[in-house]
Every structure is written in structure tokens, then in C-alpha cells.
Amino acid sequence: MMKKYLCLAAMAACVLSLASCGGKSGGSQPASGTTAASGNAGAEAADKKEVDIGNGVLNVYNWGEYIDPQVLDNFEKEYGVTVNYSLFASNEEMYTKLLSGASYDVLVPSDYMVERLIKEKMIQPIDKSIVTNLDVLTDGAKNLDCDPDNTYMVPYLWQTVGILYDTTKIDPAEVEEKGFSIYHDPKYAGHAYMYDSERDSFMMAFKALGYSANTENEAEIQEAFQWLREADKAVQPAYVTDEVIDAMANGEKWMAIVYSGDGCYISDMNDKLAYSEPKEGTNICVDGMVIPANAKNPALANLFMNYILEYENSKMISEEVGYTSVNDQVMKDLSGPGGAYEGNTAYIPRSGYEKDEFFHDNETLKKELSELWIKVKLHE
């Protein structure tokens, strides 16, 4: 997926052993607390909790380019364990791997996939006696519809979908006024990228038409199909995924549909670019850490998830990848005065806007949209 820019080097090394700390170690370890910077009240209780780390090996399955490797290295050194870190390119790839019987200790799926995994009993509840840092979570990334009380998921990073555009070519007022419908303006023919994803692209159309991003109404689906066909004719977009990052940074086109994290990263390289969340609403997405039902080392998994929420670790990850931290203080510090993303319009996702929606798991809808999306790209 575009939002986790998967480089060739990462693909070549899809299973990474990051053991730099003297090998495996069994026995019990104190649970991770929180650095003073995060101000977590649960740190003292967490430090007193002894955790059985089993054989000292943690198997993590995450998106590519979605962590600061130093965080993994530090975790290994602090607890005397080994992290085997594997990469996937889509939620569906991860899900298929799980169905095959593969065993991991920590997964990082998106919210709609978490909904499916809970429904199918493929993940287990987190241990809140170990995961004591949940109180650092920002409001927009917790208590989601898919897991209202964070029983199964520890939020990791979050984002929205929006329009990244060149402010020297397109008037910001026009983007704000037209929203996704700017993709119907023929004066931008040949100057636009559209993300090659049926769910995100149909979301654009549904929102432009005033419908829910999760609609199952057949008439609305067909109307959205026609909307996308008209956009295809009007702006003749290039359908892309990862390549949009370098292309927009280099000014090859004037506008693109991107995830906010990629928008943040790209606009950090090109200050002519700005990011807009359309007023008609968009998709909000939270990627979260979960523990599979067949995990071999769930206690160590809980320890790792709690460690990720700590201030310094959350800050390192968010600063490295450009996606928004779920740690409220980190989010404020990185976007505030002197922060790495001060003034970057893409860093903080819009929160609490009534027209924004999370996707829900719906395989039937996804299959239909996939078939229609092929027709859009074939200009049928």
C-alpha cells in the first residue's frame, strides 16, 4: 500500500532478525513502564508486573517502512530478547497468511480488519495488567467502533485520506470548495494521480455524492461507479500506489489522493504542497497492534505493545514514518513549535467531524467494488 512505502530493500529482507543484544533469554522480566516525558500514571504499577517472556522470541508482522528500526533494537537490548520482524503489503495478504496457519505474536492490521479478526475469533484480548499505557492515547484513536473499549487492539498510528496538491498550480480555495469533485474538472486533465484502491476511490465518490463510505445500497454504488467513470474522463488520472511519493515530491503532477501520513512525508520534501481533507467527509483509519489467537508468546507481545506506546518510542516511530502518533503528547509535540512536523497540514488527522467515517469489514461490498474498479481503470 502507498501508506507504508515498501522499498525494494525491505522486500528483499522480509524477515528481519534484529538480535543485537546477546541472544534469547527466558524467564520473567519487569513490564515496560513509561518515560518521564509521557507522564503515565500506570508506569509504577507496570514496572512491578513480572512478565513471563517465554523463549525470548517475539514474531512481529507489520507493514513495510512503518517503524523506526532503532525502537526494535532498543527493545531487544532492554529485555534481552529477539524480534523477528516480517512485512506484509496489505491487510488481505496478512489475513491470508493467518488463514494458512502461520503464527505471529503481534500483527498491525487496520481497524476494519481488526473488526473481522474479532468476529472470527482469530485474535485474543490484550492483558491490561501489562498494557498499562492506554491512557496516553489521543481521543481520535481510541474506543473505536471495531473495539470500543480497546479489549483487543492497541492503537499504533492513524491517518485520513485526502487531496495533496501543488499550491502554485491550484488555488487552495478551489480545493476547499470542490473537495473530491475537483477530480471532475477537465482543466486538470493529465495533472492528477488517483490511488489505485477500489475502497478508497469509491469512498471519494460516495462522499462526493453525499453517501456513506460503507453503503450497501446498489443504486448508490452504481451512481458512485458513474462518478468515477466521469472523473476518469475529466482529469485522465494516472492510477498509482507507492510511486506517487517520489512523483509528487518531484512536482510531476499537480494533485493526488494520498493517505495523510504520505502527504506529511511528501510535503516535508516539497513545501509547495498542501494537504486537504474534503468538507464532504473522508475515511479515517487507525492501524493497531493485536495478538493472534495462536500466538506463541502473548505475554511478550503485551510487553512490546506497551513499550511502543511509551513517549520516546512513539515519537521515534511517528517522526520516522510521517504517520500520526496515537500518543496524545507526542502528536502535540511533533506538530507544535519546534516539532518535526510543525506547520505540516497533513500531520494531524481531522477528528470529530461528523461526515468522516471508518471503514467496516464487508467482503461482499469489497468484491463488487473491486469488479467495478477494474472497469473504471479500463475506461469502460
CATH number at residue 178: 3.40.190.10
Report the alpha-carbon distance of residue 66 to residue 44 in Å, rounded: 29
The beta strand positions in 237-323, using DSSP E, are: 238-240, 255-259, 273-276, 284-289, 291-292
Q: pLDDT > 70: what percent of the chain?
A: 87
**Model confidence pLDDT, tens digit, residues 83-127:** 999 999 889 999 999 999 999 999 999 999 999 999 999 999 999
Report the alpha-carbon distance of residue 40 to residue 140 in Å, rounded: 19
Q: How many domains does the chain have?
A: 2
Q: Count the Cβ atoms, other than its own, within 10 Å of residue 309.
A: 27
Q: Are 368 and 221 in contact (CB under 8 A)?
A: yes
Same domain assignment for residues 201 and 81: no
Q: Residue 296: give the domain boundaries.
A: 8-156+287-335
**Model confidence pLDDT, tens digit, residues 143-168:** 899 999 999 999 999 999 999 999 99
Confidence of residue 28 (pLDDT cuts 50, 70, 90): low
Q: Count the Cβ atoms, other than its own, within 10 Å of residue 293.
A: 14
Same domain assignment for residues 194 and 107: no
Same domain assignment for residues 116 and 234: no
Domain-embedded: residue 51: yes
Domain-embedded: residue 357: yes
Domain-embedded: residue 2: no
Same domain assignment for residues 198 and 311: no
Domain-embedded: residue 178: yes
Q: What is the DSSP letter of 357?
A: B
Same domain assignment for residues 112 and 138: yes
**Model confidence pLDDT, tens digit, residues 222-268:** 999 999 999 999 999 999 988 999 999 999 999 999 999 999 999 99
Q: Nearest-CA neighbor of 14 among 67, 74, 62, 77?
A: 62
Burial 87-123 (b: 16+ CB within 10 A, else e): bbbebeebbebbeeeeebbbbbbbbbbbbbbbeeebb
**What pLDDT shows up at residue 110?**
96
- Provide the greatest CA pair distance for the chain: 66
Domain-embedded: residue 1: no
Domain-embedded: residue 355: yes
Same domain assignment for residues 236 and 292: no
| DSSP per position, 162-193 | EEEEETTTS-HHHHHHHGGGGGG-GGGTTSEE
Q: What is the DSSP letter of 241?
A: S
**Model confidence pLDDT, tens digit, residues 176-221:** 999 999 999 999 999 999 999 999 999 999 999 999 999 999 999 9
The beta strand positions in the chain, using DSSP E, are: 15-17, 28-30, 50-52, 57-63, 82-88, 106-107, 123-124, 154-166, 192-195, 238-240, 255-259, 273-276, 284-289, 291-292, 324-325
**What pLDDT shows up at residue 51?**
84
Burial 268-290 (b: 16+ CB within 10 A, else e): beeeebbbbbbebbbbbbbbbbb
Confidence of residue 323 (pLDDT cuts 50, 70, 90): very high
Q: Among 304, 319, 335, identify where a domain stops.
A: 335
Cell, residue 237: 488520472
